[in-house]
Amino acid sequence: MLGKLVLAGGLAAAAAQAAPLSTFVPALKPLFPRLNGRGRPGHVALTFDDGPDEQSTPAFLRVLDELDVRATFFLLGEMCARYPSMARRIVDQGHEVAVHSWDHRNHLRNLPGPRTFEQLARTTDIIEQQTGVRPCWFRPPYGALTSADLVAARSLGLQTVLWTAWGQDWQRDLTPRKVLDEVVSGVVDGGTVLLHDSDCTSEPGSWRATLGALPMLVDWCRDRDLHVGTVGAHGLAA
């Protein structure tokens, strides 16, 4: 089945010629708020990229459970293959799983349309196989969005979601306070927050600052009567 999907979806994506959108997405953001992750006011979509990671994701699940918060995890297919029980664990604890491509290559760099489709299709399939849940959200690595991404995602029933605030938490020597300050400098109310629950593409151990920032971020939101939850509860469905 995957082969037929790759052929059909790949041809459509190739027709889009993988034209880069990330160069002008900032100008389009006001016109496409759902793409940007702008949802309903009073709600914050909390998202994590680059997992699942057996070394770090369980710690995030534990803290989220303590905070009584549900989030959306944008998973890499190769990490699901490496840690085959983790995606299911995320779902079993009430969180949402989404597609972050198979590996973390930049889709703007020499990734033809058919290969783009294959990256998304393989990841969608392995997440569904491991969790019994078919994901419905997609975010490209680095936010490097192409027209081939949009075509492939649409053909797979995935809606593309970027972000309005991030912790820039892939860097070295971060502190939890620095991660929090970066997040709240963006659009949080009605926005989508990007963090990372794995350091597989970041500085080793960088996830620890993110983990430390998580309770502070949730407290910051609750002090402002903002509800923190998943992308699915954010009012983005087209």
Inside any domain, residue 8: yes
Q: Which pLDDT band holds residue 237 (cuts at 50, 70, 90)?
A: confident
Residue 171 placed within a domain = yes
Residue 194 lies in a domain: yes
Range of the domain at 106: 2-24+36-229
Residue 31 covered by a domain: no
Residue 68 pLDDT > 60:
yes
pLDDT in tens, 31-43: 567 888 999 999 9
Q: 160 or 27, which is more confident?
A: 160
Q: Percent of the chain, pLDDT > 90?
A: 71
Structural domain contains residue 234: no
CATH number, domain of 190, equals 3.20.20.370
For residue 46, which phi and psi values (nearest 5 degrees)?
-95, 120
Residue positions annotated with a catalytic role: 49, 196
For residue 30, being part of any structural domain is answered with no
The answer to whether position 236 is within a domain reads: no
Q: What is the pLDDT of residues 203-217, one digit of tens each?
A: 999 999 999 999 999
In the chain, the number of structural domains is: 1
- The pTM score is 0.87
Residue 204 lies in a domain: yes
Give the pLDDT band of residue 8 (cuts 50, 70, 90). Answer: very low
